[in-house]
Amino acid sequence: MTRPEALLVLVLVMLACGRGGTADGPAASTGGTIVISSAADVDALVPPLITQASGRQVADQIFDRLAEIGDDLATVNDVGFRPALAESWSWSPDSLSIAFRLRADARWHDGRRVTAEDVRFTHSLYVNPLVASPVASSIQNIDSVTVADPRTAVFWYGTRTPQQFFESTYFLFVLPRHLLDTVPPARLRESHFARSPIGSGRFRFGRRVPGVSTEIVADSTNYRGRPNADRVIWVVATDFTTAATRFLSGEADVFESLRPEHLDDLGRRRDLRVQAYPSLEYGFVQFNLRDRGNRARPHPIFPERELRRALSMAVDREALVRNVFDTLAVVARGPMTRALAFADTTVAQLPYDTVRAARLLDSLGWRRGRDGFRTRRGVPLRFTLLVPSSSRARVRMAVLLQEQMRGIGVRTDIDQLEYGAFTERSRQRRFDAAFGAWRIDVGPGGIRQTWGTPGSRSPSGLNYGSYESALFDAQVDSALSSRTTSIGRAHFRNALETIVQDAPAIWMYEPRGMLGFNARLQPTRVRADAWWAGLADWGVSEPARPPPATVDTGGSAP
């Protein structure tokens, strides 16, 4: 099978999966084990301390939220949210409080009833400074939680915001007070609970061998129903090749990080499936508008808006993305991904037009010399691009981008740095340009920190390039305070148009998530922020372990 044929087959497989995923698979039954190959170990099992997706994958199964976000990831009011631990909720007339009514049959895995007191305790733990939860700042608008009766917890808010329901449900996993109220908050990470957590989710914690595996087992009497699989095991191999081989050889059933090089092989395999889903990550080449040696001074090149626009127009982003990611990414449209409910993909982009880019540079006084590179008043048009060496995609893209810059007379030096060093240099803002990537949260407020003025002026802000635009800030603020998704989207559209035209960065790529799974599994719809969100409902067609891998060279995927 040739590469194009394999790609075609893969696309067909993806389309088939997109229609529901169960139509062509065997009938699902209860039982069996799902083995997930993971390239990262679980970082923590106590929700307030979790910082990584690997930890969330497990915690999402063991613990419950009050309500679950909808598949469209809308965050305005309670639109699209589904009941989970709370069976219903009611808003106060002034919208400054929400009362959540817990399900009467909800139980912890040790048999105790889940009460409103647990909810109150959970909030107090999350915001306790001694716990230093990474999500504490995301729920700071929740002033307090009170107990109306054993089944009713009332959330009180400092101000009315469209995201207050989202913040109360998405970030908080309800924790058992009776097991944690005797644990000093500062020692939570060292507690017995941190090693062997007890939640109310549809899976119970099984066992964990740090660096090796984590296992959860079905809570067969769970109030929300027994999960289909008997148990789920995450096996860790921090070497990417090993983690991928585990999946491709049939030792593991699921692998979340497929790469373009796997496409050919997967197209030939009848025992493996792929499901594409939108991601919350985007990559960009960020220009530093301040001098990398002295932040008080402007950068010698990049403060000029027209120059940045010229550089953006010189890059054929479609070609770069296709070359590096094949079909596993699309061109980014700005600092937001298509998965978000607020995202507007119709925002006009700067075109790829090298002639116009060259003319623009000429008009700015940047003239080509004998060596083909441009200078202006003795200053060369030259910059260093920082790239994290751990990201093969970004390294490859940087090389291609260097060549395209050379085409319009701009000299680009690539400086590959180990990830920690790259992050540190970015945080210290000691760079000309940096090939960064953000994985954004479902809540759109983070954009203030990454591209807004607050993130630029705060020394600890994440707007490393120091782009500042009052218009952009105002539109973002308006969007975040909009009471409806449509109005919010309109404001975000204006904000995106502003930042795209100002070009503080070249918006490079938006990868697609590619979930690989064994054909004996029938995943539910995959959510952009958490492919594992419906894991308890995944069908498992047979309890036995999948057969050893066989590479089918003659057939094609159904």
Partner 1 sequence: MRIVRIALTRTLHAVVVVFVVVTLTFLLIRIAPGDPFTALLESPNVTEDVRQRWREAYGLEQPLLIQYAKYVAAVSRGELGWSLTMHRPVSELLAAAIPKTLLLTGTALLLSLAVGVGVAVAQARRAGSWVDRALSSVSLFVYSLPEFWLALMLLLTFSFWLGIFPVGGAADPLSASGTSGTTLEGLVDTLRHLVLPVSVLTLTGAAVFARYQRGALLDVLPADFVRTARAKGTPELSVLRRHVLRNALLPTITLLGLSLPALLAGAVFVEKIFAWPGMGLLAVNAVATRDYAVVTGVALVAGVGVTAGNLVADVLYAIADPRVRDA
Which residues 209-238 are close enough to bind partner 1 by CB under 8 A?
209-213, 215, 233, 235-238
In the shown chain, the binding pattern of residues 16 to 45 toward partner 1, with x for contact by CB under 8 A and - for none, equals -----------------x-x-----x-xx-
Three-state secondary structure call for residue 308: helix
What's the rounded Cα separation, in Å, for the pair 491 and 49? 34
List residues bridging with 509 in a β-sheet. Answer: 283, 331
Q: Which of 356, 362, 352, 418 is nearest to 386 (CA)?
A: 418
List residues bridging with 144 in a β-sheet. Answer: 156
Q: Cβ closer to partner 1: 400 or 437?
A: 437
Q: Cβ closer to partner 1: 44 or 86?
A: 44
List residues bridging with 149 in a β-sheet. Answer: 152
Number of C-beta neighbours around residue 21 at 10 A: 20
DSSP 555: -
Cβ neighbours of residue 369 under 8 Å, at least 6 residues apart? Answer: 375
Locus of tokens 């067609």: 541
Q: Which of 257, 376, 549, 556 binds partner 1 (CB under 8 A)?
A: 549
By CB under 8 A, what part of segment 454-513 binds partner 1?
Answer: 455, 458-460, 462
Q: Which of 449, 478, 501, 556 binds partner 1 (CB under 8 A)?
A: 449
* Contact status: 552 vs partner 1 (CB under 8 A): no
What is the smallest separation between the CB atom of 377 and partner 1, expressed in angstroms? 35
By CB under 8 A, what part of segment 405-444 binds partner 1?
Answer: 417-421, 423-425, 427, 438-441, 443
* Phi, psi (deg, nearest 5) at residue 446: -60, -20
H/E stretch holding 514 reads strand 505-518
Type of residue found at 314? A
Q: Cβ closer to partner 1: 408 or 479?
A: 479
Helices (H) and strands (E) in the chain, counts: 17, 23
What's the number of CA atoms in the CB half-sphere (13 Å) around residue 555?
9
Q: Are strands 411-417 and 382-388 parallel, antiparallel or unpaired?
A: parallel
On whether the CB atoms of residues 455 and 449 are closer than 8 A, the answer is yes
What is the smallest separation between the CB atom of 41 and partner 1, expressed in angstroms? 7
Q: Cβ closer to partner 1: 359 or 427?
A: 427
What is the smallest separation between the CB atom of 173 and partner 1, expressed in angstroms? 16
What is the smallest separation between the CB atom of 441 and partner 1, expressed in angstroms? 6
List residues bridging with 277 in a β-sheet. Answer: 513
* Contact status: 107 vs partner 1 (CB under 8 A): no
What is the smallest separation between the CB atom of 156 and partner 1, expressed in angstroms? 21
What is the smallest separation between the CB atom of 36 and partner 1, expressed in angstroms? 10
By CB under 8 A, what part of segment 176-195 binds partner 1?
Answer: 186, 189-190, 194-195
* Contact status: 447 vs partner 1 (CB under 8 A): yes
In the shown chain, the binding pattern of residues 237 to 256 toward partner 1, with x for contact by CB under 8 A and - for none, equals xxx-xx--xx-xxxx-----
Cβ neighbours of residue 249 under 8 Å, at least 6 residues apart? Answer: 548, 549
By CB under 8 A, what part of segment 325-364 binds partner 1?
Answer: none
What is the smallest separation between the CB atom of 545 and partner 1, expressed in angstroms? 6
* Contact status: 136 vs partner 1 (CB under 8 A): yes
Q: Which of 52, 92, 345, 484 binds partner 1 (CB under 8 A)?
A: 52
Type of residue found at 206? G
Q: Which of 57, 77, 115, 133 binds partner 1 (CB under 8 A)?
A: 133
Q: Cβ closer to partner 1: 407 or 443?
A: 443
Q: Cβ closer to partner 1: 111 or 129?
A: 129
What is the smallest separation between the CB atom of 209 and partner 1, expressed in angstroms? 5
What's the rounded Cα separation, in Å, for the pair 228 and 231? 9
Q: Which of 135, 385, 476, 519 binds partner 1 (CB under 8 A)?
A: 135
Q: Cβ closer to partner 1: 187 or 305?
A: 187
What is the smallest separation between the CB atom of 189 and partner 1, expressed in angstroms? 5
Tokens of 149: 């009766």
First CA to last CA across the chain, in angstroms? 15
On whether the CB atoms of residues 236 and 252 are closer than 8 A, the answer is no
By CB under 8 A, what part of segment 110-129 binds partner 1?
Answer: 129
Type of residue found at 401? L
Q: Cβ closer to partner 1: 267 or 409?
A: 267
What is the smallest separation between the CB atom of 378 and partner 1, expressed in angstroms? 33
Type of residue found at 296? A
Type of residue found at 311? L
What's the rounded Cα separation, in Å, for the pair 313 and 500? 11
The region of 72-80, 116-124, 356-364, 543-551 touching partner 1 under the rule CB under 8 A is 543-551
Locus of tokens 């924790």: 175
On whether the CB atoms of residues 395 and 387 are closer than 8 A, the answer is yes
Q: Which of 314, 348, 324 is nearest to 396 (CA)?
A: 324
What is the smallest separation between the CB atom of 491 and partner 1, expressed in angstroms? 18
What is the smallest separation between the CB atom of 61 and partner 1, expressed in angstroms? 17
* Contact status: 446 vs partner 1 (CB under 8 A): yes
